[in-house]
Amino acid sequence: MERNKPGRVESVHRALVLLKLIVEEGSIGVTDAAAALDVNASTAQRLLATLAHDGFAVQGAGRRYFPGSAMMSPALRAPTPQLTDTLRPALEALFERTGETVHVATLVGTRIQHIDGIEATTHLLRFGLRVGVWLPAHITSGGKALLADLSDEEVEARYRLALTGPRGQRLDVDLDALREQLDDVRESRVAWNFEESEPGVAAMSISVGEVGGQRAALSIALPIARFTREVGDACSRALTDIADAVAARSLV
């Protein structure tokens, strides 16, 4: 983890990182927490015990910590518009602009879920809907777009935790290569996936930031056999235009 950033209280920052991980992963153990924060187990234990003392976590079976009663406060669960309803106009505009299969995705830990989509209808060769499907974030355009919204420090913390968890042995990720890709996404705004998530697929995505308190990305996917540089340029322009419209609240 990066340390000693100006104006940051390190212990508070670590506690907040643990809170995010508890919420996203459902629970966390001391060993996982120590690995995610790059601290020793006694430090991680004290931080988790403090969260539990103040009601933000509760210790359960196997010495794992789960969300506590303070996280269930009505103030923290204020109703917000459904993300799919809010972003539907943007999704439809992107579909009308490109004619390709489009999705909305959200990030949970180191995975993304496609929560809404519209399937292309005018092409015999097309990419089908993946609504409801979970995929590793680092091999998808939507995942890269959303990871690029985070600091390198938070990305690394998420993957440290995931690599020590039950899915860790199946998680094939090169963090150095991923860091370079995320730097490119931060510069260009658009993330790419050429047959990384599945053979024969080209996809591109852009983050639309926080909508209703939840981060989301819009993506376009098509068979790689129909992908050309001109198609990529047109899709990139469509993504940035639609994302700018969402930011201006003219499409939400």
Q: Is 108 exposed, middle or buried (0-12, 13-18, 19+ CB in 10 A)?
A: middle
> What pLDDT does residue 76 have?
53
More confident residue, 187 or 167: 187
Edge-first strand listing for the sheet containing 28-29: 28-29, 64-67, 57-59
Query: Over the stretch 100-146, which tens digit does the pLDDT of each residue have?
Result: 999 999 988 888 989 999 999 887 777 888 888 889 999 999 999 99
Decide: pTM greater than 0.85.
no
C-alpha–C-alpha distance, residues 99 and 207, integer Å: 20
C-alpha–C-alpha distance, residues 154 and 28, integer Å: 16
Q: Which one, of 236, 36, 252, 52, lies nearest residue 145 by Cα?
A: 236
> What pLDDT does residue 79 have?
43
Cβ 211 vs Cβ 94: under 8 Å: no
> What pLDDT does residue 80 have?
46
Q: How much is the average pLDDT of 2-17?
A: 72
> What pLDDT does residue 234 have?
97
Q: Which one, of 134, 136, 140, lies nearest residue 110 by Cα?
A: 136
Tell me the two tokens of residue 165. Answer: 């968890």
Q: How much is the average pLDDT of 27-56?
A: 88
Query: Over the stretch 81-92, which tens digit does the pLDDT of each residue have?
Result: 588 899 999 999
Out of 7-11, 23-27, 159-163, 201-205, the most confident range is: 201-205
Kindly state the percentage of the chain with pLDDT values over 70: 88
The full set of domains in the chain, from first to last, is 10-77 (1.10.10.10), 83-247 (3.30.450.40)
Tell me the two tokens of residue 228. Answer: 């050309």
Q: Which residues contact 217 (CB under 8 A, 6 or more apart)?
A: 104, 105, 106, 107, 112, 141, 142, 145, 146, 191, 205, 206, 207, 208
> What pLDDT does residue 90 have?
96
Q: Are strands 190-194 and 111-118 parallel, antiparallel or unpaired?
A: unpaired
Q: Which one, of 21, 23, 51, 50, lies nearest residue 33 by Cα?
A: 21
Q: Cβ atoms within 10 A of the Cβ of 252, count?
A: 18
Q: What residues does 111 pair with on adjacent strands?
A: 108, 136
Is the pLDDT at 164 greater than 90? The verdict is no
Q: How much is the average pLDDT of 139-163?
A: 90
* pLDDT-derived band at 233, boundaries 50, 70, 90: very high
Out of 37-46, 162-171, 180-189, the most confident range is: 180-189
